[in-house]
């Protein structure tokens, strides 16, 4: 499933570097508030524990690294990151130096067979050509390297119940929508074998849940609830969420051009 009328690469660059880069104070509160960062890292720490079962060291690349949230929990690995947002990328560069590239993955200059693990967390559904992105990941991974992709699962029961109101349907922010079946298919085309996939739960503030349900519509009841409880004890109540609406796929490089 995909958006029929996509923005150009130039338009997407403007959108992410301007509109989605902290211009909205509400988005800043939800995504960059320090306590919300801790909730984000709750998922990342769980992901780290899964990765450690496969490898204990090596070079890892996080595509769409934001300010370096995931890299921060991957102590013991040689960490690299990419982010198209200059403001976010510069924060990550302050900690990881030249290992962080500011720009798009398509423009990322790196030799083949460099990484042991690559992650795309909430990224693949933002790309103009997901298959080409996965093919480049294949080239950058060493033989037997791991690719980890996290996206919304449009085949989940919650998505079917909510239909067109499913919160992840957000063009032009999301250009493609995936199910477990379509992910397996596209991974195979890019010469990866899916080893396993998991619907890993997240921890969110109650205020964050209302914000996401509002779909940024300031006239909705959910947005009004978000504004009402933001900054209150009720708004800071931590809720464990696992509606099987987000899927994390673990795949192994099985072939490539090299």
DSSP 198-232: E---EEEEHHHHHHHHHTT-TTSHHHHHHHHHTTS
Query: What are the structure tokens assigned to 225, written together?
Result: 């609830």
Q: State pLDDT tens for residues 37-88.
A: 778 889 999 999 999 999 999 999 999 999 999 999 999 999 999 999 898 9
Q: Which residues contact 196 (CB under 8 A, 6 or more apart)?
A: 250
Residue 101 has pLDDT above 50, yes or no: yes
* Mean pLDDT for all residues in the chain: 86
- How far is the C-alpha of 40 from the C-alpha of 231, rounded, in Å? 18
Does the pLDDT at position 171 exceed 90?
Answer: no
Task: Quickly tell me which residue has 């250009």 as its tokens.
Answer: 175
The β-bridge partners of 121 are 150
Mean pLDDT computed over 233-256 = 91
Overall size of the chain counted in residues: 258
**Does 26 have pLDDT greater than 60?**
no
Q: What are phi and psi for residue 62, nearest 5 degrees?
A: -105, 110
pTM, whole model, 2 decimals? Answer: 0.84
Domains observed in the chain: 9-201+243-253 (3.40.50.150), 206-241 (no CATH)
Please state, in angstroms and rounded to a whole number, the distance separating the CA atoms of residues 249 and 149: 5
What is the rounded CA–CA span in Å between residue 207 and residue 234? 8
More reliable by pLDDT, 258 or 102: 102
* Calpha distance 60→96 (Å, rounded): 12
The answer, yes or no, to whether residue 116 has pLDDT greater than 80, is yes
Q: What is the pLDDT of residue 216?
A: 78
Q: Is the peptide bond before 96 cis (omega within 30 degrees of 0)?
A: no
Give the per-residue pLDDT at 30. 47
Predicted pLDDT at 25: 46
Percent of the chain clearing pLDDT 90 (strictly above)? 62
- For 63, the enclosing helix (H) or strand (E) is strand 59-63
pLDDT band at 18 (very low <50, low <70, confident <90, very high): low
CA dihedral sign, ordered 200, 130, 139, 191: positive
pLDDT for res 9: 62
Q: Write down the pLDDT at residue 14.
A: 58
Residue 100 near residue 92 (C-beta atoms within 8 A): yes
Percentage of the residues of the chain whose pLDDT score is greater than 70:
84
- CA 132 vs. chain centroid, Å, equals 17
């Amino acid at each position: 499933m995909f958006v029929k009328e996509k923005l150009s690469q130039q338009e997407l660059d403007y959108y992410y570097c301007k509109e989605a880069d902290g211009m909205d104070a509400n988005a800043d509160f939800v995504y960059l508030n320090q306590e919300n960062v801790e909730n984000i890292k709750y998922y990342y720490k769980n992901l780290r524990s899964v990765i450690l079962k496969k490898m204990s060291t090596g070079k890892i690349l996080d595509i769409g690294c934001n300010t370096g949230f995931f890299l921060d929990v991957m102590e013991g690995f040689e960490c690299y990151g990419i982010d198209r947002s200059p403001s976010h990328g510069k924060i990550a560069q302050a900690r990881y130096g030249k290992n962080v590239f500011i720009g798009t993955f398509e423009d990322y200059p790196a030799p083949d067979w460099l990484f042991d693990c690559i992650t795309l967390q909430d990224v693949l559904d933002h790309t103009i050509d997901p298959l080409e992105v996965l093919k480049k990941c294949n080239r950058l991974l060493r033989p037997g390297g791991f690719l980890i992709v996290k996206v919304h699962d449009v085949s989940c029961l919650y998505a079917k119940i909510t239909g067109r109101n499913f919160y992840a349907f957000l063009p032009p922010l999301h250009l493609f929508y995936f199910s477990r079946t379509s992910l397996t298919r596209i991974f195979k085309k890019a010469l990866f074998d899916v080893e396993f996939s998991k619907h890993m739960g997240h921890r969110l503030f109650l205020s964050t849940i209302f914000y996401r349900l509002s779909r940024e519509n300031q006239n909705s009841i959910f947005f009004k609830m978000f504004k009402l409880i933001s900054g209150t004890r009720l708004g800071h109540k931590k809720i464990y969420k696992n509606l099987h609406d987000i899927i994390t796929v673990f795949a192994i490089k099985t072939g490539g051009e090299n």
